Amino acid sequence: MLTREILQRVRQIQVRTGRQVADVLAGEYVSVFKGRGMEFDEVRPYLPGDDVRTIDWKVTARMGEPYVKRYVEERQLTLMLMADVSASQDFGSGTRSKREATAEFCAALAFSATRNDDKVGLTLFHGGIEQYIPARKGQKHALRVVREVLAHGLDEGTQHAAPVAGGLRWLPRRRPRSERESTDIGGAVEFLLSVMTRRSICFVVSDFIDEGFERALRTANRKHDVIAVLVTDPRELDIPPVGLMALRDAETGRARLYDTGSAAFRREVERTAAERVEGLARRLRGSGIDFIHVDASGSVVDPLVEFFRMRERRARR
């Protein structure tokens, strides 16, 4: 994808997502993600009418006259978007890939945060950390976040899905396997803990084709508000009966020929895929981590709104 085409795609996402943020998401975002309450600002001399409970006794003893602590409401939040840019994210059987759906999901959150004057940061990861953008405010910064999710790694001969007789197959890279052809969610979360000293809201957006990451997510969730976002393509969950199909795994390089005309094979694929999604959701929620499932062929706003409303209902209990 050329730079001009990437910028055009970013503008399209900005227009579509911006409208959805203005119409739907902005209010939901504010109602769920509020400031962390009151934070210390300064000490000042005591004035008649001040609450005696705010007296700073150490400063008072040192200065010889009463001083009180002044607090201000802390409203600004930090939103960290952790986007998986491994090779499997480039798959797409419809009008957009999982990576494009990830970019649009991140855009909806970034623009919502920008409208609320919150900071937004980005971490791109695969088998390692590809890029880290510290959290900042502003529309220009939010657009950069979207652009980086879409563009990063596309100049490396990215593997992609292409139509062939009978379905889709992976085009080979014809080079040694790279970090982008693997996924290390646990390592990415450990990186988050090393760079984010203050509490943040962290969305981990991935297809979660990985193992052994749940412990890292649980650890991070003790300090940050971690939300797992699973992005899937419809053809990963339901393969149509189109006869023989050659598929190459984007992250292992293994290729195999499948007979999609077999009803037993299709049922097994559907069962395995459903169990993976349901099992992941159950394990994460059991660990206190909220879970969102995004279909790359559908709306990214609807599951986000559903998540916001679930959090709001839970807060009222």
* Structural domains present in the chain: 3-34+76-316 (3.40.50.410), 41-74 (no CATH)
Give CA 70 to chain center in angstroms. 36
> Which residue has better confidence, 12 or 292?
292
Q: Which helix (H) or strand (E) holds 107?
A: helix 98-115
pLDDT surpasses 60 at 176: no
pTM summary value:
0.77
CA 220 to chain centre: 14
Whether the per-residue pLDDT at 252 is higher than 70: the answer is yes
Q: 67 pLDDT exceeds 60?
A: yes
Residue 248 contacts residue 169 (beta carbons within 8 Å): yes
Confidence of residue 151 (pLDDT cuts 50, 70, 90): confident
Q: Taking residues 1-14, what's their average pLDDT?
A: 63
Confidence of residue 160 (pLDDT cuts 50, 70, 90): very low
Residue 188 binned pLDDT confidence (cut-offs 50, 70, 90): very high
pLDDT for residue 201: 92
Q: What is the rounded distance in angstroms from the CA atom of residue 284 to the CA atom of residue 72? A: 35
What pLDDT does 71 receive? 67
Tell which wins on pLDDT, 42 or 222: 222
How much is the CA Rg of the chain, to the nearest whole Å?
A: 23
Confidence at 23, pLDDT banded by 50, 70, 90:
low
Give pLDDT, residue 181.
76
pLDDT at 167 > cutoff 80:
no
Give the pLDDT of residue 195: 93
Question: According to the model, what pLDDT value does residue 182 have?
Answer: 84
More confident residue, 275 or 73: 275
Which 3 state secondary structure label does DSSP give 116?
coil
Distance separating alpha carbons of residues 240 and 17, to the nearest angstrom:
31
Q: Of the given ranges (69-83, 101-115, 127-141), which has the lowest mean pLDDT?
A: 69-83
Instruction: State which H helix or E strand residue 9 sits in.
Output: helix 3-20
Q: Is 29 exposed, middle or buried (0-12, 13-18, 19+ CB in 10 A)?
A: buried
Average pLDDT over residues 262-280: 92
Q: Is the pLDDT of residue 2 over 50?
A: no
Helices (H), 21-97: 26-32, 57-63
